[in-house]
């Protein structure tokens, strides 16, 4: 297959725009595959600071050196280097990796960050690999037990996928968000969800039959002291008045911890979850041999493979998360259109 010397890569210069530029094709090294990219997914929180924040950059630009971004795409293998023999040209794959699975038309990616797609999973669906696997790792870190009550705060892509996974794991899930469109998606998925305001306390307590939440997930960004204060009132309560349970932090929330307004967190187990599973960022694993599955059953790779299986089996309506599809050549103009309504923008797919 013909392999060009140049590729198109989307860059972000820090002025509220993103644009395609031409760059040299990266070199292949041992343990990598070259992928002809068919779709990539924007991670609005990590990559852009949120759609509202990104829209505001035009009002307060902070120009900087243009740099490529993106870490979740899909396509088909066109070349496999030594050490990546499990993949061959023509294989359809979902790919992840900061600095590798960019918004581009060609990518060179470590082989253990690529997973073969089931025949009935589209490239657009496969592009959700990173955020879906992050939701999967959040579930695993939460160690849910069947029948528990869980609240997911923040129904962006990761929040919605996390809520659905908890539901599939046999939990009763309620969601909080300030965006009616995202609450509507959760409700369509059978996840009782409410607009985040004072009424959510009564709704959530009633949802748990006054038992209190066993777990919660913070899938949000920015200041959330008030939200966390309300959440603490919904957790299980010990006889001494202290909240009990587990809180998984998958977004980048800013909250005080200690003897302040939420000092009752003394018996809350807080767990950070912003990864896709073991292996990611371990260079020896990414480019080399897999961990022995008998010791490390769930890696980044096996988490992604399970996510793709759930899509294949129809257990996740991933397509309902996609609100925009944009060609790389049109990205600068079309992203401006999307930002005219940031509340209505969720999953944005770039295509060559």
φ/ψ bin of 313: left (φ > 0), alpha (ψ from -120 to 50), beta (otherwise): alpha
Please count the structural domains in the chain.
2
202 and 294 in a single domain? The answer is no
Minimal CA–CA distance to 277: which of 292, 295, 297? Answer: 297
Rounded to a whole number of angstroms, the CA Rg of the chain reads 21
Q: From 256, 272, 288, give the residue that closes a domain.
A: 272
| pLDDT tens digits, one per residue of 23-80 | 999 999 999 999 999 999 998 877 777 777 776 776 676 667 788 999 999 999 999 9
Do residues 175 and 223 share a domain? yes
Flag whether 226 is in a domain: yes
Regarding whether 257 and 140 lie in a shared domain, the answer is: yes
Tell whether 326 and 346 lie within a shared domain.
yes
CATH number of the domain within which 327 lies: 3.90.180.10
Q: Are 100 and 207 part of one and the same domain?
A: no
Same domain as 208, residue 161: yes
Instruction: Report the distance separating Cα 87 and Cα 114, nearest Å.
Output: 9
**Lowest-confidence region among 5-19, 107-121, 183-197, 305-319:** 5-19
Do 140 and 268 reside in the same domain of the chain? yes
Burial of 85 (0-12, 13-18, 19+ CB in 10 A): exposed
**What is the structure's pLDDT at 63?**
65
Q: How far apart are the C-alpha atoms of 180 and 344, rounded to whole Å? A: 9
SS3 label, residue 73: strand
The C-alpha atoms of residue 264 and residue 48 are separated, in whole angstroms, by 34
Residues 254 and 294 in one domain: no
Residue 258: count of CB within 10 angstroms of its CB: 9
Q: Which of 272, 289, 311 is the last residue of a domain?
A: 272
105, 182: one domain: no
Q: Tell me: the pLDDT tens digits for 219-261?
A: 998 888 888 889 999 999 988 888 899 999 998 888 887 655 4
In a domain, 37, yes or no: yes
Closest among 51, 52, 34 to 42, alpha carbons compared: 51
Asked, for residue 1, whether it belongs to a domain, the answer is: no
Q: Is residue 11 included in any domain, yes or no?
A: yes
Q: Does residue 257 sit in the same domain as residue 178?
A: yes
- Sequence-distant (6+) residues with CB within 8 A of 218 are 153, 154, 224, 228, 231, 247, 248, 249, 250, 251, 253
| Domain boundary, last residue among 223, 246, 272 | 272
Same domain, 82 and 203: no
Q: Are strands 149-153 and 172-177 parallel, antiparallel or unpaired?
A: parallel
Range of the domain at 119: 6-127+277-351
Report if residue 177 sits inside a domain: yes
Mean pLDDT, rounded, of the chain? 92
CATH number at residue 239: 3.40.50.720
CA distance 332 to 60: 18
Q: Where are the beta strands (DSSP E) in 26-124?
A: 32-41, 67-68, 72-80, 92-96, 106-110, 114-116
Are 88 and 150 within one domain? no
Determine the Cα–Cα distance for residues 211 and 253; give it in Å rounded to an integer.
26
Q: Among residues 279, 249, 232, which one has the least CA distance to residue 31?
A: 279
């Amino acid at each position: 297959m013909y392999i060009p010397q140049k590729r198109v890569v989307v860059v972000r210069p820090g002025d509220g725009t993103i644009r395609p530029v031409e760059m040299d094709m990266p070199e292949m090294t041992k343990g990598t595959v070259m992928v002809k990219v068919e779709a990539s997914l924007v991670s609005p929180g990590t990559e852009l600071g949120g759609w509202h924040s990104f829209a505001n950059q035009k009002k307060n630009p902070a120009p900087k050196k243009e740099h490529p971004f993106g870490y979740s795409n899909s396509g088909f293998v066109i070349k496999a280097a030594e050490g990546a023999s499990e993949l061959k040209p023509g294989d359809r794959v979902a790919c992840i990796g900061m600095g590798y699975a960019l918004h581009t038309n060609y990518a060179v990616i470590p082989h253990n960050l690529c997973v073969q797609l089931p025949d009935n999973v589209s490239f657009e669906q496969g592009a959700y690999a990173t955020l879906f696997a992050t939701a999967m790792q959040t579930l695993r870190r939460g160690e849910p037990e069947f029948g528990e009550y869980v609240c997911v705060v923040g129904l962006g892509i990761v929040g919605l996928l996390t809520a659905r996974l908890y539901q599939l794991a046999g939990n009763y899930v309620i969601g909080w968000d300030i965006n009616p469109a995202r609450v509507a998606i959760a409700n369509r998925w059978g996840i009782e969800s409410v607009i985040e305001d004072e009424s959510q306390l009564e709704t959530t307590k009633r949802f748990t039959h006054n038992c209190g939440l066993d777990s919660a997930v913070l899938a949000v960004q920015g200041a959330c002291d008030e939200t966390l204060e309300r959440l603490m009132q919904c957790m299980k309560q010990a006889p001494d008045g202290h909240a009990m349970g587990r809180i998984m932090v998958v977004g980048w929330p800013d909250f005080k911890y200690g003897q302040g307004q939420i000092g009752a967190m003394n018996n809350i187990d807080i767990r950070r979850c912003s990864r896709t599973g073991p292996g990611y960022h371990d260079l020896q694993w990414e480019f080399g041999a897999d961990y022995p599955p008998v010791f490390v059953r769930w890696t980044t790779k096996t988490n992604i493979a399970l996510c793709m299986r759930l899509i294949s089996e129809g257990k996740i309506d991933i397509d309902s998360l996609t609100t925009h599809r944009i060609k790389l050549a049109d990205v600068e103009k079309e992203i401006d259109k999307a930002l005219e309504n940031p509340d209505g923008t969720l999953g944005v797919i770039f295509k060559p």
